[in-house]
């Protein structure tokens, strides 16, 4: 696949929807994350029970503290028995609450890990259902960033911030209940400070949310650039472009850092601002409580009256007011973490919401025992509506014949293969295999009918045997060795320390490029597919090895319909049919001798390679 290939028609994804519903995005993301939590309802309910019990015990502590203070200031002297009884109750409540909080944290870690596992699995599975179009237009590094960084960000919020929010909600409600019992007039102070905190938090959240979305995007771009440059490190070194690449990386790194700083700076500013409002409310509570206590002591307010309060009551109310204000401040502090998590989750959900490869038609035609006759009937196609690549291409490839496709770069050679494999669908015209239109067959059946050897080799981390047998998983060891012999790679494999059990590192970087190509050729030979696609399959081997491979390929290609894309015309002289594509049209076709005799573009191109 050409890396620089323009995208096909836009996939009906959710990008516009997310932008259009920006104000509702956070709510939508929250609901979707809640759906993941509810899938593990037993764990969540257990966490909720621990939260309620732990916070209830923590809320009972100030009550016993106030009663102990009243026992100290009681008329007739200190009531030590009452003081110690309340002190022990207070200690027991706090200790048990701490133990339950620890259990809650451990439980939430387990819950968040299960949710993250599900999200990461769904994301990776979705990537395997997306059309080639998506990968042509999305950097691999950006996708890796979503799988790793973005999901890890969600994990951090679920395992820590969610616990804090659950705790805060119960603490706020419980504290308000106890304060209402202690002194109703003193609650009026919070009628001013709490709305101020809420309004300010809501205002800052709207400003901060886009900054965290920008931060995630910049980090994805940075990862994509790094992945692209690292994969081309040899080319960069060969052309001495290290300084230029470092300059470009530094620029992207600077943009990422600035986006990160802006998000964190404006997010972090929220906490101290709300903390100031809460501290102000506690100061007012202390002053107002002191005034009410003095009037109560002077007899201005009778016991049981609305404004009457004891010293222990003031102490209780101050402690509950701190518990009441504390969660509001904590929530403001973690709000920017939620903004980061929501932005990360949004990027993950955007991929999950992408439209998959269009499904096969209902009741598709079977494509078994393929003979290999292929017909292109007036096929036209463009990766974008405004630019056509192929124009009314018509050609017939007889079964068992070799069809070579040549032409200048960008003429549409690889596009023909993309349409044949249904990586893209033609805009106009039909492609038929054995008389059946490929759009009426299952993609799986169609692609199993082909074996492909591309110019860009792909090997995965595993043994040599596993990489070859990837072409047909039920192949026997003898068949694998036979395919390796046919590809002229068997002697090299047997010379390795562990032979076929030798482990190839990621993308086969521990073996030469030519050897990687030979292994992929052996994989294609093993597949036993009735049709074969070769895209410059011998471009990475020397001339001597190429001759040996051509001999083996001539034997193994016999009886198969083969499509060969080649720039080295010496490799296709024996092709049954050579198609010359220029500007998306077939300008010449015939065998080597006929085209040379014609003296057209093919003849000129061939002679230019040997003069």
pLDDT digits (tens, 9 = 90+) for 230-273: 767 767 777 677 788 888 888 888 888 888 888 877 777 776 77
Residue 162 to residue 50: CA distance in whole angstroms: 14
319-351 pLDDT per residue, tens: 777 777 767 666 666 766 777 788 888 888 888
pLDDT value of residue 430: 92
Confidence band for 78, pLDDT divided at 50, 70 and 90: low
The whole-angstrom separation of Cα 392 and Cα 493 is 46
Torsion angle, alpha carbons of 496, 502, 504, 509, to 10: -20
Could you read off the pLDDT of 450-471 as tens digits, one per residue? 888 777 777 878 888 888 888 7
**Which pLDDT tens digit goes with each residue over 489-544?**
888 888 888 888 888 876 556 677 778 878 888 888 888 788 988 877 665 556 66
Q: Which residues contact 402 (CB under 8 A, 6 or more apart)?
A: 557, 561, 562, 564, 572, 574, 575, 576, 577
Q: Which residue has the tokens 């196609």?
A: 381
Q: Band the pLDDT of 13: cuts 50, 70, 90.
A: very low
Q: Identify the helix (H) or strand (E) that includes residue 198.
A: helix 190-231
Instruction: Report whether pLDDT(7) > 60.
Output: no
Q: How many residues does the chain have?
A: 611
How many angstroms from the chain centroid is the CA of residue 210? 19
The span from the CA of 117 to the CA of 470, in Å, is: 27
Grade residue 99 by pLDDT with cuts at 50, 70 and 90: very high
**Residue 110 burial (CB < 10 Å; 0-12/13-18/19+)?**
middle
Are 134 and 212 in contact by the 8 Å Cβ rule? The answer is: no
Backbone torsion region of residue 585, taken as left when φ is above 0, otherwise alpha when ψ lies between -120 and 50, otherwise beta: beta
Confidence of residue 4 (pLDDT cuts 50, 70, 90): very low
**Residue corresponding to tokens 């033609």:** 426
Phi, psi of 487 (to 5 degrees): -85, 0
Has residue 9 got a pLDDT over 60? no
Using alpha carbons only, what angle is made at residue 413 by residues 410 and 415, rounded to the nearest 5 degrees?
Answer: 90
pLDDT digits (tens, 9 = 90+) for 411-449: 888 888 889 988 888 999 999 999 899 999 988 888 888
**Average of per-residue pLDDT values in the chain:** 79
Is residue 75 over pLDDT 70?
no
Interval 564-609: pLDDT, tens: 887 778 778 888 899 999 888 999 999 888 988 988 888 888 888 7
Would the pLDDT of 6 be above 60? Answer: no
Q: Go through 556-582 and write b for each residue having 16 or more CB atoms within 10 A of its CB, e for each that does not.
A: bbeebbbbbbbbebebbeebbbbbbbe
Q: Residue 32: pLDDT above 50?
A: yes
Q: Tens digits of per-residue pLDDT, 271-309?
A: 677 777 777 777 777 787 777 777 777 766 666 667 677
């Amino acid at each position: 696949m050409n890396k620089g290939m323009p995208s096909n028609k836009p996939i009906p994804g959710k990008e516009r929807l997310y932008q259009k519903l920006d104000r509702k995005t956070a709510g939508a993301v929250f609901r979707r994350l809640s759906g993941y939590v509810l899938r593990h309802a037993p764990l969540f309910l257990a966490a909720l029970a621990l939260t309620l019990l732990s916070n209830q015990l923590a809320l009972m502590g100030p009550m016993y503290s106030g009663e102990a203070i009243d026992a100290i200031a009681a008329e007739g002297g200190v009531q030590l028995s009452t003081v110690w009884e309340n002190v022990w109750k207070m200690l027991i409540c706090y200790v048990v609450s701490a133990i339950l909080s620890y259990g809650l944290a451990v439980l939430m870690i387990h819950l968040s890990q299960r949710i993250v596992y599900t999200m990461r699995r769904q994301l990776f599975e979705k990537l395997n259902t997306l059309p080639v179009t998506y990968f042509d237009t999305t950097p691999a590094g950006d996708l890796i960033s979503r799988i790793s960084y973005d999901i890890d960000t969600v994990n951090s919020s679920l395992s820590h911030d969610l616990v804090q929010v659950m705790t805060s909600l119960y603490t706020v409600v419980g504290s308000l209940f106890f304060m209402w019992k202690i002194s109703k007039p003193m609650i009026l102070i919070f009628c001013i400070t709490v709305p101020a905190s809420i309004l300010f938090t809501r205002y800052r959240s709207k400003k901060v949310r886009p900054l965290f979305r920008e931060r995630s995007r910049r980090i994805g771009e940075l990862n994509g650039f790094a992945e692209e440059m690292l994969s081309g490190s040899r080319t960069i070194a060969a052309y001495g472009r290290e300084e230029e690449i470092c300059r470009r990386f530094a620029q992207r790194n600077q943009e990422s850092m600035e986006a990160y700083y802006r998000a964190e700076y404006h997010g972090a500013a929220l906490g101290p601002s709300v903390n100031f409002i809460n501290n102000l409310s506690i100061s007012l509570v202390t002053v107002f409580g002191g005034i009410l206590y003095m009037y109560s002591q002077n007899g201005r307010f009778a016991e049981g009256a609305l404004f009457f309060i004891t010293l222990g009551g003031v102490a209780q109310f101050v402690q509950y007011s701190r518990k009441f204000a504390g969660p509001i401040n904590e929530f403001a502090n973690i709000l920017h973490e939620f903004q980061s998590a929501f932005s990360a989750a949004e990027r993950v959900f955007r991929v999950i919401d992408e439209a998959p490869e269009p499904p096969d038609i209902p009741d598709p035609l079977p494509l078994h025992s393929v003979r290999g006759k292929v017909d292109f009937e007036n096929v036209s196609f463009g990766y974008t509506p405004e630019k056509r690549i192929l124009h009314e291409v018509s050609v017939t490839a007889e079964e068992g014949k070799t069809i070579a496709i040549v032409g200048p770069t960008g003429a549409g050679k690889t596009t023909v293969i993309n349409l044949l494999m249904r990586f893209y669908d033609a805009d106009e015209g039909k492609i038929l295999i054995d008389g059946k239109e490929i759009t009426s067959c299952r993609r799986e059946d169609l692609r199993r009918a082909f074996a492909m050897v591309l110019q860009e080799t792909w090997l995965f981390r595993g043994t040599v045997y596993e990489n070859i047998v990837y072409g047909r998983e039920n192949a026997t060891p003898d068949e694998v060795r036979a395919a390796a012999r046919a590809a002229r790679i068997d002697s090299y494999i047997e010379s390795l320390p562990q032979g076929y059990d030798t482990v190839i590192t990621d993308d086969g970087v521990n073996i030469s490029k030519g050897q990687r190509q030979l292994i992929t050729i052996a994989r294609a030979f093993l597949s036993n597919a009735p049709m074969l696609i070769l895209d410059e399959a011998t471009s990475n081997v020397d001339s001597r090895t190429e001759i040996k491979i051509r001999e083996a390929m001539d034997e193994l290609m016999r009886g198969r319909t083969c499509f060969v894309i080649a720039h080295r015309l010496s490799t296709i002289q024996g092709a049954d049919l050579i198609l010359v594509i220029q500007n998306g049209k077939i300008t010449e076709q015939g065998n080597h001798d006929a085209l040379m005799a014609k003296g057209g573009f093919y003849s000129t191109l061939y002679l230019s390679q040997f003069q």
